[in-house]
Amino acid sequence: MTIQPENLKYCESHEWAYAPADAGGVATIGISAFAVAELNDLVFMALPAVGQKVEAGAEFGEVESVKAVSPMYSPVSGEIVDVNSGLVDRLDQLNADPYDQGWIMKVKMSDPSELDRLLDFAAYQKLLSQHG
């Protein structure tokens, strides 16, 4: 499976969710290429634990670069069923491929309709264009 940016739903805080119909209510979560580029030289990432509950809009971890520490916010509510734990030691994967190899966690959604509140690709591109 290759995750394409055009198929994702986005938060204004630059996290994305991928939840195809055949995923059984599980959303793959990550941060956008824009967010990775803005952070630049990544040095640390704090990930949540499998089994942890997350709420849409609530912080689930953080990513740190040489210039800033940025919280990451969950686009959806539910239970974390998988975490890309290898990413912590290979942050270069996040730089190289934030949408496929750089996914962060998978969440069994408690309310899939929360996806409808997120931005589609066109709306996210419009948001980015307003950043200058």
Question: Closest Cα to residue 108, out of 72, 71, 63, 74?
Answer: 74
Helix locations, the chain, DSSP H: 33-39, 91-96, 121-129
On whether residue 88 sits in a domain, the answer given is yes
> Considering the domain boundaries, does residue 25 fall inside one?
yes
- In which band, very low, low, confident or very high, does the pLDDT at 60 lie, cut at 50, 70 and 90? very high
Query: For 64-87, how does the pLDDT look when each residue is reduced to its tens digit (9 = 90+)?
Result: 999 889 999 999 999 999 999 999
Cβ(39)–Cβ(67) below 8 Å: yes
Determine the average pLDDT of the residues in 33-56: 94
Residue 113 pLDDT exceeds 70: yes
CATH of the domain at 61: 2.40.50.100
Q: What is the pLDDT of residue 75?
A: 98
- Residues 10-32 have a mean pLDDT of 95
Q: Which domain holds residue 106?
A: 5-125
The predicted structure's pLDDT at residue 124: 96
Point out the least confidently predicted range of 21-25, 50-54, 58-62.
Answer: 21-25
Average pLDDT over residues 3-30: 94
Residue 83 lies in a domain: yes
pLDDT of residue 41: 87
Whether residue 41 lies inside any domain: the answer is: yes
Asked if the structure places residue 131 within a domain, the reply is no
Tally of domains in the chain: 1
- Evaluate whether residue 130 is within a structural domain: no
CA nearest to 124, candidates 37, 4, 30, 14: 14
- Report the pLDDT value the prediction gives residue 1, as an integer from 0 to 100: 54
Asked if 47 contacts 87 with a C-beta cutoff of 8 angstroms, the reply is yes
